[in-house]
Structure 1
Amino acid sequence: MKVKINRNAAKALKKILDEQEEDKLFRVYVTNVHGDHAHYDLKLDTPTENDEVVQTDKDIDFILDKNDDYLDGVWIQFFHVPKEEWLITNPSKGGHHHHH
């Protein structure tokens, strides 16, 4: 499984990880599936036996449910302009996206 993350997202998520007291990772999960696409979100969590911990090139690991095909190839982005917002997409699954 693969996760891609942009530099702004990595910086923002590292700051959150540095501020937490517990040793947790970010989980990417599907909040809703309709049609040919899914909506995604992030939360701090610990891996279970159904998960895979995926490393990124930005030194942040993510937890993915290895049984959920919508998670493989997810792309996590954070933008400052025109406004601060998170964008989580999976280009291999129709390219639809979910804003936070």
Structure 2
Amino acid sequence: MKVKINRNAAKALKKMMEQEEAQGKLFRVYVTSIHGDHAHYDLRLDTPTENDEVVKTDKEIDFILDKNDEYLDGVWIQLFHVPKEEWLITNPSKGGHHHHHH
């Protein structure tokens, strides 16, 4: 499974992982809802179970994905600072819709 992340998002998540409550945890990408051909995603700190795969990215951050959820494969996590700060989590390989995540 694959996860892509942009530099702003990696920087922000690294900062969160330095907090005490994040010790020993990784960020899980999960599906919050599915609409027809595309899904909405979110992130939370979690620990992997035997149903999960820990996926490495090129930005030194690992993510937990449920290996039975095909909607997670190829997810792209981005953080933009302009025009306003916003997270955007999409999966270009599963319906090319861009959904804004607040």
3-state secondary structure, aligned to 1:91: coil
3-state secondary structure, aligned to 1:10: helix
State the match for 1:63 in structure 2: 64
Does the Cα contact within 8 Å between 1:40 and 1:98 map onto a contact in 2?
no
What TM-score does the superposition give when structure 1 sets the normalisation length?
0.96
What TM-score does the superposition give when structure 2 sets the normalisation length?
0.95
Give a deviation string over 1:22-77, Cα, whole Å, max 9, x none. 21000000000011000000000000000000000000000000000000000000
Unaligned runs of 5+ in 2: none
3-state secondary structure, aligned to 2:93: helix
Structure 1 segments (4+ residues) deviating >3 Å:
none
State the match for 1:11 in structure 2: 11
- Please provide the CA RMSD for this pair: 0.8
State the match for 1:75 in structure 2: 76
3-state secondary structure, aligned to 2:60: coil
Measure the CA separation in 2 of the matches of 1:98 and 1:83.
12
3-state secondary structure, aligned to 1:14: helix
2:6 maps to amino acid: N
Q: Percent identity?
A: 86
Unaligned runs of 5+ in 1: none
Give a deviation string over 1:60-97, Cα, whole Å, max 9, x none. 00000000000000000000000000000000001222
Measure the CA separation in 1 of the matches of 2:8 and 2:96.
20
